[in-house]
Structures are given as structure tokens and as C-alpha cells.
Amino acid sequence: MPELPDVEGYRRILADEGEGRRVDEVRVADPGVLREVTPGGLRRALRGRRIEAADRHGKWLVARTDGPALLLHFGMTGRLVGCPADEPPHRHDRVVFDLDDGRQLRFRDQRKLQGIRLARDRAAVDRLLAGQGPDALSVDAAGLDRLLAGRRAGVKAVLTDQSVLAGLGNLLADEILWRARIHPSRRTDGLDRAERRRLADAMRRVLRDSVRVGHVPARRASLTAHRDDAEPTCPRCGGPLRRDRIAGRTTAWCPHCQPPP
DNA sequence: TCGCTTGTTGATGG
DNA sequence: GCCATCAACAAGCG
């Protein structure tokens, strides 16, 4: 689930519920989500600190405080929940932050593929995010052209490579390529000017729509709304969709609208 | 039991 | 160096 639009939704939760609040307590229900920090270390670092800002880069959420910063990555099944402290615990609540207004922020994650990191200061945040490409929401057509230039890999592999462009996952990439009418296996350096333009337009359009609702849109006229149907059809041409393994992931595409290379 | 899953990383081979 | 593929991580589902 969590791709750029989902994480942007969690960022809003963090901003709305957390900014200006003090962290009164940190409860680690499952240390399995902590990365390079112990439960005690996390608690000591954050207890009594005030949350100052909620930032996002790609799929990373950054909670800045008047002390260290917290970096959260939601993997495939994670989410951030804001709720009253007396709400019954959920079995997948891995870390709970008590705020000074009687509410809590909860890092909830079924699988524990990613998790939570601590960064001492701004430089440490930058180091942890150093391998990330620019955030997809900040990239315009010219910027995308620069990022794609000279790359021979399949275009879906490039779009979902976080070190090239941060924020796009499997569903978003398929949605964008379907909208741009480009086959996901096309070589990136084989796209002509018009195709690159369509790709940039589709990316911005899909991201804008998705961020507005906080997840990849499942509107009727989207690939995402149909990709998991028993016999999925293309909402544009009505033909059958295909599912193949492309760039290592299950990929939905339309053989009519997105001619294979 | 096996295969599959919206994420990331590292090994391996071309 | 670039690129594709695969395994691993973890947990649940059919």
C-alpha cells in the first residue's frame, strides 16, 4: 500500500496530530521494527521532546523534534495512526508514542519489512536519505527527462528505482505507464520526445490525484481500480488487461493501449 | 505445503 | 558500470 500518496497521508496525520506536541512516553511493543536503535535508546532519545515538523521524502516520513529526528518507512503493510490513548491496542501496533494531549501516534505494521530509525541531527537525516533520488512530486517534465536520460533499463524498473526517483511503487508505476500508453518493458532510452512528455504529464496527474485522496486512485477510469478483478479489462479500450512479471513485480498493462516493444 | 503479496537490499551473472 | 534476476526479510492468505 504505502507509496508516495499514502505516506503523504501519514505525513498529514503526523503534522495535524503531532506538530507542537510533546512526546510523553514511547512504548515499543515489538522491537522487530526498530532499526539500529534499541527500545531504551528510542525512549531516552524522544521522551520529553517536542515534535516540530513533519517532512516526507519519497516513501520516507521524517518527524523532526527539538532533539533527534525519527524516520519511518512503512514497507508494504505499515501505516501511521492517530487516536485517543484509551483506544484498544491493535495487534499490529509495534510502537506507540504518547502525546501530551492524551492522544497517541501509533506505528502499525503487519509485516515488519521496514521500520523506524533515529537520526541525531539534520546531517544524520540527510545521510540516511542520501541514496534517494528527488521526490517524485517535485519533478517536472524537464527534470524527469534529465533523470531518465541515458538509462537503458526498462522504464518501469527506472520509475520504481528509489535512487533515481523517490516515491513511486508498483501500483503507481503501472497506473502512470498505462495512462501514458507506454509498455513497462520499453527501454527508457528508447522513448521518444512525445512519449517522455506523456510520461511526465501522466506522472504529475496521477500523483496529484493520488495525493489528494491519500492513496493511489481507484476511480473507475483507472487501471488500479481494475487490476485485481477476476477478468480485468482496460477502462480505456475495453480489451482484456494482462498480468506479467516485469521488473520483478506483478505488472498490469493493456496490450492494446501499451504496445509491447 | 506451496505460491503469492503494493517494499528494499545484496549477491550473482551477463 | 549497467542491468536483470533471484533470495531474503516477515506475516498472512488461499
pTM for the predicted model, two decimal places: 0.95
Is A2 known to be catalytic? Answer: yes
Residue A82 confidence (pLDDT) above 80 = yes
Is A11 known to be catalytic? Answer: no
pLDDT tens across A179-225, in order? 999 999 999 999 999 999 999 999 999 999 999 988 887 777 899 98
Q: Which of A227, A231, A229, A239 minimizes the C-alpha distance to A177?
A: A227
pLDDT at A46: 97
Residue A158 CA: distances (Å) to CA of A50, A59, A181, A187, A221: 38, 16, 16, 9, 25
A8: pLDDT confidence band, cut at 50, 70 and 90?
very high
**Active-site entry in A31, A242, A249, A255:** A249
Percent of chain A clearing pLDDT 90 (strictly above): 86
**Active-site entry in A21, A59, A79, A117:** A59
**Active-site entry in A2, A68, A217, A235:** A2
Place of cell 517536542: A50
Cβ proximity of A97 and A104 under 8 Å:
yes
pLDDT tens across A229-255, in order? 888 999 999 999 999 999 989 999 999
DSSP state of A189: G
Is A249 known to be catalytic? Answer: yes
pLDDT at A1: 62
A188 touches strand B (CB under 7 A): no
